């Protein structure tokens, strides 16, 4: 059992989005520290549901947990599942993720990310938990990374000798943060006894897109067939976290250098992701169904 400050064995924790990339890593960490974890997730098809089920299967190897399959954007479901429940901490990571889809499905993003979060905050305000931890955006990577994120998409394209589409001239930069560094600090935040605070968790060391592709080529032993396209409207030119406050208050210092994290990601990609096949998004599946319906 890994000791974690602020966490005594049996501490009841509600973790939303626990079947996802970051959530499943965090669930393992919490179970390893002896917490009583309830995972809430709707297992939606934004990317393949079987990948989320596989994440849950891996979490279950760490210990048993309760599972609520439900949609946080549905206020009735939220009420009936959670009212009267009591947790020490709610860690809220369920969200519609993916920046570009937020432009095509703004209402859905609003319902889940805004209304769903408000629904949980309202339950928290009425006494559901002592502490509420909520994650927002950055660039987290590592094993189990979402298939829609650039590093995973590029690795798959290089591996399958398909073109890698780069938006912009490759000079955009991301403050890539290894998933264990994020999970460590979320776990450390459980010990905080403060009011509302915002922390930046990142690497503090932005990496140019071209360098990320170059390291992937090296790790996978194949050149990328680059296809350059114009910048995307939703993309930031640079993300760069200011780690000062997280270092002072949470003792945060990222431990995994980018080269090492990327090597761990590609090792996972070779061993696991390759075998699970190309994940489909709901949108792609819907389009296929529409096409086949039209064609018959």
**Which residues lie near ligand NAD (CB under 6 A)?**
17, 19-23, 41-44, 52, 71-73, 93-97, 112, 116, 135-140, 146
Beta carbon of residue 161, minimum distance to ligand NAD (angstroms, whole number): 26
Q: At what angle do helices 209-220 and 150-159 cross, to 10 degrees?
A: 40
Q: How far is CA 24 from CA 148, 152, 175, in A?
A: 17, 17, 22
Nearer to ligand NAD, 56 or 129 (CB): 56
Nearer to ligand NAD, 135 or 254 (CB): 135
* Smallest gap from residue 183 Cβ to ligand NAD (A): 11
What DSSP line would sit under 239-269, residue for residue? Answer: -----HHHHHHH-----S-HHHHHHHHHHHI
194: which strand partners?
A: none
**Cβ partners under 8 Å of residue 219, min gap 6:** 262, 263, 266
For ligand NAD, give the closer residue by CB, 20 or 215. Answer: 20
Cβ closest to ligand NAD, residue 224 vs residue 241: 241
State how far the Cα of 7 lies from the Cα of 57, in Å rounded to an integer: 24
Tell the smallest beta-carbon distance from residue 284 to ligand NAD (Å). Answer: 16
CB of 23 to ligand NAD, least distance (A): 5
Give the nearest residue (CB) to ligand NAD. 20
């Amino acid at each position: 059992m890994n000791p974690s400050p602020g966490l005594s064995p049996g501490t009841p924790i509600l973790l939303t989005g626990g079947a996802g990339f970051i959530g499943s890593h965090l669930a393992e960490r919490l179970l390893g520290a002896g917490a009583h974890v309830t995972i809430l997730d709707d297992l939606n098809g934004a990317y393949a549901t079987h990948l989320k089920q596989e994440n849950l299967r891996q979490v279950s190897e760490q210990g048993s947990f309760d599972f609520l399959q439900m949609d946080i954007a549905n206020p009735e479901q939220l009420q009936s599942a959670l009212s009267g429940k009591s947790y020490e901490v709610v860690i809220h990571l369920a969200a519609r993720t993916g920046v570009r889809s937020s432009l095509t499905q703004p209402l859905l993003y609003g319902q889940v990310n805004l209304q769903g979060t408000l629904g949980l905050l309202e339950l928290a305000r009425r006494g559901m938990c002592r502490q509420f931890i909520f994650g927002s955006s950055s660039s987290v990577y590592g094993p189990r990374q979402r298939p829609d994120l650039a590093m995973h998409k590029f690795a798959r394209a290089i591996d399958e000798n398909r073109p890698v589409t780069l938006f912009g001239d490759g000079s955009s930069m991301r403050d890539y943060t290894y998933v264990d560094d994020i999970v460590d600090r979320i776990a450390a935040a459980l010990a905080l006894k403060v009011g509302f605070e915002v922390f930046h968790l990142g690497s503090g060391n932005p990496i140019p897109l071209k360098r990320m592709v170059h390291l992937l080529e090296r790790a996978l032993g194949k050149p990328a067939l680059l296809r350059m396209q114009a910048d995307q409207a939703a993309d930031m030119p640079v993300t760069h976290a200011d780690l000062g406050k997280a270092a002072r208050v949470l003792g945060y210092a990222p431990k995994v250098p980018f080269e090492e994290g990327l090597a761990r990601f590609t090792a996972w990609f070779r061993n696991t992701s390759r075998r699970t096949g190309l994940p489909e998004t709901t949108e792609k599946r819907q389009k296929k169904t529409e096409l086949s319906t039209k064609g018959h």
